[in-house]
Amino acid sequence: AEYETILVERRDAVTLVTLNRPQALNALNSQVLADLIAAFAAYDADDSQRCLVLTGSEKAFAAGADIKEMSGQGFAEMYGSNFFGGWEKVTATRKPWIAAVAGYALGGGCEVAMMADFILAADSAKFGQPEIKLGVTPGMGGSQRLARAVGKSKAMEMCLTGRMMDAAEAESAGLVARVVPAAGLIDEAMKVAAAIAAMAPLAAIANKEMVNAAFETTLAQGVTFERRLFHGLFGTEDQKEGMAAFVEKRPGKWTGK
């Protein structure tokens, strides 16, 4: 197989990536990270692929970073290898991707789900940052992304107690976009992904870039960034096509140019 710890399947314009370490509840070790970096880079570089879904198993999206791999390491090794630093290669993905979460999304599992453009959750999903119970903290961006997603109070309570949040709470807190019955999770995620994949590709990247800018900048700068990208799309064929198609009451045919 192409990868050791993940399964990759292309269905039309959608790439489905399934974490596949069932014996460890998809715990995220270095090999998983290496496989995901390669798979996401291949997705980003493949013009035939327009959206990606990352999922786990029914029982666990991922039960965290691999505790057994980390436990013996010291500061010099962690700092020297910039342990977890590779995840920024995953978050550098320019094209859209969705996390489809069933079962446990704990620690690093919750953190990876929060790296996605959005989370679709099964009603069986459970989110948590239990690192405090191991004597540490989140290390893949969880404290920052959880605080941005659900606000200080809930993020602080989750990190300080290590408790789990169920799907209903995650939805009402704004952590996930939508909750669906567990049996239909993958179908629904693939359907949403196919809908995104059918949009003008440059507009998809631009929409993603500008929503992400909201987490990095002031309102005035973010609005200017949005405006300039919006202006820029008027230099594309797909803007002409999209607006002509509307006027002519037909679906747009995109070129990605």
Kindly tell me which of 107 and 201 has the beta carbon lying closer to ligand HXC. 107
Is 242 one of the binding residues for ligand HXC (CB under 6 A)? no
Residue in 108, 109, 141, 242 annotated catalytic? 108
Partnered with residue 97 across adjacent β-strands are 52
Is 56 one of the binding residues for ligand HXC (CB under 6 A)? no
Residue in 60, 64, 99, 131 annotated catalytic? 131
Scan residues 17-36 and list those touching ligand HXC (CB under 6 A).
24-25, 27
Per-residue tokens: 100: 């489809």
Nearest distance, CB of residue 147 and ligand HXC, angstroms = 16
Kindly tell me which of 35 and 66 has the beta carbon lying closer to ligand HXC. 66
Is 101 one of the binding residues for ligand HXC (CB under 6 A)? no
Is 141 one of the binding residues for ligand HXC (CB under 6 A)? no
Is 139 one of the binding residues for ligand HXC (CB under 6 A)? yes
Q: Can you tell me which of 66, 117, 171, 238 binds ligand HXC, judged by CB under 6 A?
A: 66
Contacts of 26 (CB under 8 A, 6+ apart): 19, 20, 32, 56, 57, 60, 61, 62, 63, 109
Contacts of 1 (CB under 8 A, 6+ apart): 7
Tell me the residue ranges of DSSP E strands in 93-217: 97-101, 104-106, 118-122, 126-128, 164-166, 178-180
Asked if 131 is an active-site residue, the reply is yes
Written as one string, the DSSP assignment of 136-155 is S---SSHHHHHHHHH-HHHH
Nearest distance, CB of residue 38 and ligand HXC, angstroms = 21
d(CA 92, CA 5): 21
Nearest to 107 by CA among 71, 82, 59, 141: 141
Q: Can you tell me which of 108, 141, 201, 242 binds ligand HXC, judged by CB under 6 A?
A: 108
Q: Which stretch binds ligand HXC (CB under 6 A): 33-41, 57-65, 167-175, 247-255?
A: 57-65
Residue in 39, 63, 65, 100 annotated catalytic? 65
Phi/psi at 97 (5° precision): -150, 150
Per-residue tokens: 68: 């057994």
- Give the SS3 label for residue 202: helix
By beta carbon distance, the residue nearest ligand HXC is: 107
Kindly tell me which of 52 and 159 has the beta carbon lying closer to ligand HXC. 159
Q: Can you tell me which of 54, 106, 159, 190 binds ligand HXC, judged by CB under 6 A?
A: 106
Helix H, strand E, coil C: the string for 3-48 is CCCEEEEEECCEEEEEECCHHHCCCECHHHHHHHHHHHHHHHHCCC
Kindly tell me which of 108 and 201 has the beta carbon lying closer to ligand HXC. 108
Q: What is the contact surface with ligand HXC in residues (CB under 6 A)?
A: 24-25, 27, 63-68, 104, 106-108, 130-131, 134, 136, 138-140
Active site residues: 65, 108, 111, 131
